[in-house]
Protein backbone atom coordinates (compact mmCIF):
# COMPACT_ATOMS: atom_id res chain seq x y z
CA UNK A 1 0.00 0.00 0.00
CA UNK A 2 1.20 3.48 -0.91
CA UNK A 3 0.10 6.33 1.35
CA UNK A 4 -0.13 9.38 -0.87
CA UNK A 5 -2.02 12.64 -1.24
CA UNK A 6 -4.38 14.02 -3.83
CA UNK A 7 -4.51 17.72 -4.67
CA UNK A 8 -7.91 19.23 -5.32
CA UNK A 9 -7.11 21.66 -8.16
CA UNK A 10 -10.06 23.90 -7.28
CA UNK A 11 -8.53 25.03 -4.00
CA UNK A 12 -5.15 23.21 -3.74
CA UNK A 13 -6.35 21.32 -0.66
CA UNK A 14 -4.64 18.02 0.09
CA UNK A 15 -6.59 14.81 0.55
CA UNK A 16 -4.88 11.71 2.00
CA UNK A 17 -5.36 8.51 0.02
CA UNK A 18 -3.99 5.01 -0.36
CA UNK A 19 -3.13 3.31 -3.64
CA UNK A 20 -2.80 -0.46 -3.76
CA UNK A 21 -1.60 -2.65 -6.61
CA UNK A 22 -2.56 -6.19 -7.45
CA UNK A 23 -1.79 -8.49 -10.36
CA UNK A 24 -2.34 -12.10 -11.21
CA UNK A 25 0.13 -11.78 -14.09
CA UNK A 26 -2.60 -11.19 -16.68
CA UNK A 27 -4.58 -8.36 -15.12
CA UNK A 28 -3.16 -5.32 -13.34
CA UNK A 29 -5.29 -3.48 -10.81
CA UNK A 30 -4.84 -0.11 -9.12
CA UNK A 31 -7.21 0.83 -6.30
CA UNK A 32 -7.30 4.36 -4.90
CA UNK A 33 -9.09 4.74 -1.57
CA UNK A 34 -9.87 8.03 0.16
CA UNK A 35 -12.17 9.11 2.95
CA UNK A 36 -15.79 9.89 2.11
CA UNK A 37 -15.52 8.72 -1.52
CA UNK A 38 -16.01 5.53 -3.44
CA UNK A 39 -12.78 3.76 -4.37
CA UNK A 40 -11.45 4.28 -7.87
CA UNK A 41 -10.50 0.91 -9.35
CA UNK A 42 -8.60 0.72 -12.63
CA UNK A 43 -7.78 -2.47 -14.55
CA UNK A 44 -5.38 -3.07 -17.41
CA UNK A 45 -4.37 -6.17 -19.30
CA UNK A 46 -1.08 -4.49 -20.33
CA UNK A 47 0.78 -3.39 -17.16
CA UNK A 48 0.65 -0.94 -14.24
CA UNK A 49 1.91 1.94 -16.43
CA UNK A 50 -1.20 1.59 -18.56
CA UNK A 51 -3.35 1.50 -15.41
CA UNK A 52 -1.57 4.62 -14.08
CA UNK A 53 -2.30 6.44 -17.34
CA UNK A 54 -5.99 5.53 -17.02
CA UNK A 55 -6.01 6.57 -13.34
CA UNK A 56 -4.44 9.93 -14.20
CA UNK A 57 -7.15 10.59 -16.81
CA UNK A 58 -9.89 9.68 -14.33
CA UNK A 59 -8.41 11.89 -11.60
CA UNK A 60 -7.93 14.87 -13.93
CA UNK A 61 -11.59 14.59 -14.94
CA UNK A 62 -12.39 14.92 -11.22
CA UNK A 63 -10.05 17.95 -10.97
CA UNK A 64 -7.53 15.98 -8.89
CA UNK A 65 -3.81 15.24 -9.10
CA UNK A 66 -2.08 12.33 -7.36
CA UNK A 67 1.20 13.40 -5.79
CA UNK A 68 3.40 10.53 -6.98
CA UNK A 69 6.63 10.27 -8.98
CA UNK A 70 4.92 9.02 -12.14
CA UNK A 71 2.90 12.22 -12.41
CA UNK A 72 5.89 14.54 -12.09
CA UNK A 73 6.64 16.89 -14.98
CA UNK A 74 9.90 15.05 -15.76
CA UNK A 75 8.77 11.42 -15.34
CA UNK A 76 9.64 9.25 -18.32
CA UNK A 77 8.83 5.58 -18.80
CA UNK A 78 10.91 3.56 -21.23
CA UNK A 79 9.87 0.19 -22.60
CA UNK A 80 12.75 -1.40 -20.66
CA UNK A 81 11.63 0.24 -17.40
CA UNK A 82 8.09 -1.02 -18.03
CA UNK A 83 9.27 -4.57 -18.62
CA UNK A 84 11.57 -4.61 -15.58
CA UNK A 85 8.94 -3.26 -13.18
CA UNK A 86 5.57 -4.30 -14.66
CA UNK A 87 5.12 -0.57 -15.28
CA UNK A 88 5.81 0.59 -11.72
CA UNK A 89 9.17 2.25 -12.42
CA UNK A 90 9.96 5.53 -14.13
CA UNK A 91 12.93 7.78 -14.78
CA UNK A 92 13.14 11.34 -13.50
CA UNK A 93 14.92 12.99 -16.42
CA UNK A 94 16.86 16.23 -16.54
CA UNK A 95 16.48 18.65 -19.45
CA UNK A 96 19.30 18.19 -21.97
CA UNK A 97 20.63 15.01 -20.35
CA UNK A 98 20.10 11.38 -21.43
CA UNK A 99 18.31 8.86 -19.23
CA UNK A 100 20.45 7.78 -16.34
CA UNK A 101 19.75 4.26 -14.99
CA UNK A 102 20.47 5.58 -11.49
CA UNK A 103 17.48 7.89 -11.80
CA UNK A 104 14.90 5.09 -12.05
CA UNK A 105 12.45 5.44 -9.22
CA UNK A 106 9.24 3.94 -7.94
CA UNK A 107 6.27 5.40 -9.80
CA UNK A 108 4.02 5.34 -6.72
CA UNK A 109 6.49 6.96 -4.32
CA UNK A 110 5.37 10.37 -2.99
CA UNK A 111 6.28 13.52 -4.95
CA UNK A 112 6.15 17.19 -3.96
CA UNK A 113 3.25 19.29 -5.25
CA UNK A 114 5.55 21.67 -7.14
CA UNK A 115 6.76 18.79 -9.37
CA UNK A 116 3.39 17.22 -10.22
CA UNK A 117 1.55 18.57 -13.26
CA UNK A 118 -1.34 17.75 -15.56
CA UNK A 119 -0.72 15.09 -18.21
CA UNK A 120 -0.56 17.62 -21.08
CA UNK A 121 2.19 19.64 -19.39
CA UNK A 122 4.18 16.48 -18.61
CA UNK A 123 3.82 15.29 -22.21
CA UNK A 124 5.14 18.61 -23.51
CA UNK A 125 8.16 18.46 -21.18
CA UNK A 126 8.99 14.88 -22.23
CA UNK A 127 8.41 15.64 -25.94
CA UNK A 128 10.78 18.65 -25.67
CA UNK A 129 13.31 16.52 -23.75
CA UNK A 130 13.24 13.81 -26.46
CA UNK A 131 13.51 16.44 -29.24
CA UNK A 132 16.62 17.89 -27.59
CA UNK A 133 18.50 14.75 -28.67
CA UNK A 134 17.58 14.98 -32.39
Q: From 26, 7, 28, 2, select the one nearest 118 (Cα to Cα).
A: 7
SS3 122: helix
Segment 16-36, tens digit of pLDDT: 999 999 999 899 999 999 999
SS3 97: coil
Pairwise CA distance, residues 122 & 56, whole Å: 12
What angle is formed at CA 54 by the lines to CA 82 and CA 32, rounded to 5 degrees?
A: 95
The rounded Cα 67 to chain-centroid distance in angstroms is: 8
Domain spans of the chain, in order of start: 2-131
Task: Report the predicted TM-score, pTM, of the whole model to 2 decimal places.
Answer: 0.93
Taken in order 116, 120, 121, 126, the sign of the CA dihedral is: positive
No. of H helices and E strands in the chain?
A: 3, 8
Band of residue 103 on the pLDDT scale cut at 50, 70, 90: confident
Segment 29-88, tens digit of pLDDT: 999 999 999 999 999 999 999 999 999 999 999 999 999 999 999 999 998 888 888 999
Residue 112 per-residue DSSP state: -
Amino acid sequence: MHNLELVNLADESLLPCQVTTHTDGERYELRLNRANASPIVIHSSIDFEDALRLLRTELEQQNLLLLCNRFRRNAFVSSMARQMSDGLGCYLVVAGEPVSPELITESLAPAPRKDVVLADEAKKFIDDWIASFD
